[in-house]
Chain A
């Protein structure tokens, strides 16, 4: 009896797995930014839940499965995770890697050779723009740091910093945005007094801080908060080497407030990719997110929803969960011409596609129109401490 039950269960599982659409979702569940990652992962799940509630995939209503793996914000872990997703779980496409280093590594060594499309939720390194090498397999739902670095340089100038020291963690994301920042800042007439890499994950950065602190009171810090960023900032404040701090998304976390204390962060400003909350798309997204208890305006959370929703639309558009059709369909559903689809409007989009019509998804995080490199434009915000919490303000 037991055997029969097991066999039946096994058959059921096997058939349901075959009839479902599977998307691989490597996320930075552990590693240096678990707090930033958690709401993004929740947004991915929310998108899948919305899709399955509103009729699922294809005419026969197949379930969309998000198969999650841990890329740990680490190139090696990402390669392992995506290899498993592609070879063992046979996913149709990858929606995922949160960090740039992880995205680049998994694309170069796994997903591009396997001809699987990657749509990153938040990888923003400028290096990703031109890495596809003639293929059309790497997309992202977050804007490149080629823009954010410039926005940050403008912010430094607006804050009146005429000289600045730069310290960046030695990885793909932080090194790339630091380079863009330095170029833009010097182009605007600022003086970079020191520009040094720091090794992530050290117990102490006092010598680093002392070395670069001699020339300026302002520090542009490019690091992940969980792999040295907080320690470096703490050491800089303790030794009094720096008075003012600016930086990008990797540092913008509540963990910073909890560990360093809001009273010590009064002179810090961090930018991040942000959504323009006046658009109807953002309004639609906010309603969905609020109902589900997902923080709508947190960094890259809207991008996570958009990426998942667009990937599902692309597979629906292709009419098959075949890997080869995804890239072309992704371009077709993301930009005009076509009926505008807002976040959450799965049933409407499904009906239009079934009737042979065109759709144009307008995302919560931005219009999500891919350029020829698979990049999107985006908005940025700057966050400062107001009443003991981060308060974001859109910068144009």
Chain B
């Protein structure tokens, strides 16, 4: 039912891989920043994504009932403000007492935080799935017609166009923040060497707050993009994304936001492309096992080049 080679590859493997990669990338930014600056693997990150998506849905539902239909990307802004408040409050009351403790204690604390957030969401919104946007997203007809005319038809629903655009905007903004602003430079300095940053008079507490804010915005965006893609909310969706996002952060190099973006795209593409029939007609790898691809990449990376592609911290 499909003709020319390329059409199938681009539309059913490459673009979905990129969409998944964008979501992984945004999630991995927060993970890599907390890992680099606060020095612990934040297991609660997936739940932050999930709660951000639930908050976005709630804002849309409340305003929708008042007769004001919001685009998820607009509702994302107030939702990420709420998530940032939540983030800063957990940091103040939950993580701060652990600041000088062993890393393993903070990691376990974040694991506890993950369960607390998920249970809280289940109490408030219930364990059932919630529909984000009902129905089927058909490919954008303009894009289909335009690309069809030049013989390279691209089938992309609007939701994917929004996800790409949102990711590009966020990554460009992040690049500006880290390279051009004072706080961004301070964040990079703390990530490279906290002691040296401290003696040069950088306000470490300020940097930590900035880290939570940047991580919170990216996590909420990742969560919302994920529900825009799957069109439903469910309380374990963040946790399912967590391990591939860790793989992305490690692949790119811990503490390197660009590494995380690159790692996310590579992991997303690798997962989807592993099921492409590269040799013969059968899928290269049964799609049932594509999750394993992300972890295989992570394990190989940890053995061969533990500092990651972008020369991050190695432990």
Contact = CB atoms under 8 A, between A and B. Distances in A.
Bind each other? yes
B137 A238 contact: yes
Contact of B291 (A196, A199, A239): A199
Interface string B264-301: 00000000110111000101001111110000000000
Interface in B123-146: 126-129, 131, 134-139
B129 A226 contact: yes
B135 A204 contact: no
A52 interface: no
Nearest to A31: B127
17 contacts: A30-B235, A198-B287, A205-B287, A206-B12, A207-B13, A208-B275, A210-B12, A211-B275, A211-B283, A217-B1, A234-B136, A237-B136, A238-B137, A259-B231, A260-B135, A261-B135, A264-B136
A30 B122 contact: yes
Nearest to A225: B129
Nearest to A209: B12
Contacts of A261: 134-136
B193 interface: no
B134 A259 contact: yes
B108 to A, nearest CB: 20
Interface of B: 1-2, 8, 11-13, 16-17, 19-20, 23, 122, 126-129, 131, 134-139, 155, 157, 226, 229-232, 234-237, 240-241, 272-273, 275-277, 281, 283, 286-291
Contacts of B20: 203-204
A30 to B, nearest CB: 4
Interface string A221-240: 00000100011001001110
A208 B287 contact: yes
B122 A214 contact: no
B232 A207 contact: no
A352 B310 CA distance: 79
A203 B230 CA distance: 6
A255 B129 contact: yes
B127 A214 contact: no
Q: How large is the interface on A (under 10, 10 to 19, 20 to 34, 35 or more residues)?
A: 35 or more
Contacts of A202: 240, 290-291
B137 A198 contact: no
A129 to B, nearest CB: 25
Given A34-B127, A199-B290, A207-B290, A260 B13 contact: no
B13 A201 contact: no
Given A34-B128, A204-B229, A260-B136, A197 B286 contact: yes
Contact of B236 (A196, A199, A201, A237): A201
Nearest to B226: A203
A197 B12 CA distance: 18
A142 interface: no
A238 B156 CA distance: 10
Most buried by A among B1, B136, B283: B136
A170 interface: yes
B276 A207 contact: yes
3 shortest A-B CB distances, which residue pairs?
A210-B12, A197-B288, A208-B287
B287 A207 contact: yes
Contacts of A290: none
Interface string A149-172: 000000000000000000000100
Contact of B230 (A197, A198, A231, A263): A231
Contacts of B235: 30
